[in-house]
Structure 1
Amino acid sequence: MEKNHYLIQGALCQCKFSEKPQTDELQVKAQSKHFANDLQGKDKPIATDKDIGKTMKKNTFGNCTLQPSSNGNLPCQTVITQWTGFYEKTVLSNGGKILLESSMAGCAIGGPNCIVVKDHGQTPEMAEQIEDSNPEILHEIFPCVDFYDLNNKSLMIEN
């Protein structure tokens, strides 16, 4: 597989036909058993090609340039009809194939591949397991960080 992240709940998408570029968050509704980038396995389900219909948080990308009217462009009403560019080699328990950051979606107005992914939704986070790790090995991997004092506040990253 090429370097491509899985899409998860919260991935940001954008329509090519939006009057002003706006993003909306993908909401995974087609499955609730498989998670990525989520230590607890409850907040970030993996998106699949089965996530069609009204699967965006706001279900709009603003005004749609393909729907002109006498008062300006009509508001977009996002309804995903299909996904392309998904990972073919893995099928999840819902029969869906995993969406990637290179995947694209289509809608009834904009046609195929009019919706692109702007952000896959995954965020890097350090697991708590690092506290049990050998400081010498960690120093080999991260030579600029002193892991001998894991209680040192300067190592903490505030959210």
Structure 2
Amino acid sequence: MALKEKVVQGAICKCQFGTTPDQLVVLSHKKWYANDHEAKEKLIVTNKDIGVPLKKKTFGSCSKMNNSPCVPNITKWDGFYEKEKYDPPGGYIILEDSKATCAVAGSPCIEIVKSGQIGVPSNKNLKNADKELQANVNPLINMMDLDKLDPYEFLNAE
């Protein structure tokens, strides 16, 4: 298996018949997290997240319903990773290339646009970075000061 990202709460998904994307919300559990050092935001999406696990609960207008408002209903997920199961809810993780079937379309028409994972460098990453290379790639960032900052500070700024 090529490296694929696990999908987490906040992932962006879209329906091929809808007009706007929406964010996934985990409804099946409150226990399993990925890439979330405080374990409070990035719940792992599983194949048990069916129904309407969406923040806005719509993909805009639905071309399958003559452009009337989309009322999605996920009936199943395809392409989940069967080698990693979480109990509860007894579900397998959804990957960035998984697709969901909507009851309206009757086919796997909902795809993941962004997994919801965000890479956050640690102090060790900053310490091991090639300072000269980083100065060329990121000329506005002073690499000498970066190792003094908390890489998670921006998360708490909201």
Task: Compute the TM-score of the two structures, normalised by the length of structure 1.
Answer: 0.80
1:91-134 deviations in Å (ceiling 9; x for gaps) = 1012100000000001111112111111101111123xx26x89
Matching residue of 1:144: 133
SS of residue in 2 equivalent to 1:66: helix
How far has the Cα of 1:37 moved from its partner? Answer: 1.2
Is the 1:139–1:147 Cα contact (8 Å) retained in structure 2?
no
| Greater Rg by CA | 1
Matching residue of 1:126: 121
Task: Using the aligned pairs only, state the percent identity.
Answer: 37
SS of residue in 1 equivalent to 2:96: coil
Q: Which has the higher helix share?
A: 2
SS of residue in 2 equivalent to 1:3: coil
Alpha-carbon spacing, 1:88–1:74, altered in 2? closer, same or farther (3 Å)? same
Matching residue of 1:114: 109
* 81, 85, 88: which one aligns with 2:75: 81
1:23-64 deviations in Å (ceiling 9; x for gaps) = 000001101111011000111100000000110011111111
Paired letter, 1:144: L
How far has the Cα of 1:151 moved from its partner? Answer: 3.2
Gaps of 5+ in 2: 135-142
Is the 1:37–1:122 Cα contact (8 Å) retained in structure 2?
yes
Q: How many aligned residue pairs are there?
A: 144
Is the 2:126–2:147 Cα contact (8 Å) retained in structure 1?
no
Is the 2:34–2:44 Cα contact (8 Å) retained in structure 1?
yes
How far has the Cα of 1:150 moved from its partner? Answer: 2.7
Q: Which runs of 4+ in 1 moved over 2 A?
A: 142-152
Q: Whole-Å Cα distance in 1 between the matches of residues 92 and 24 of structure 2?
A: 16
Gaps of 5+ in 1: none
Matching residue of 2:94: 99
Q: Whole-Å Cα distance in 2 between the matches of residues 148 and 123 of structure 1?
A: 22
Q: Whole-Å Cα distance in 2 between the matches of residues 87 and 143 of structure 1?
A: 40
How far has the Cα of 1:2 moved from its partner? Answer: 1.7
Matching residue of 2:2: 2
**1:15-94 → structure 2 map (5 Å cutoff):** 15-18=15-18, 20=19, 22-68=20-66, 73-93=67-87, 94=89
Task: Compute the TM-score of the two structures, normalised by the length of structure 2.
Answer: 0.80
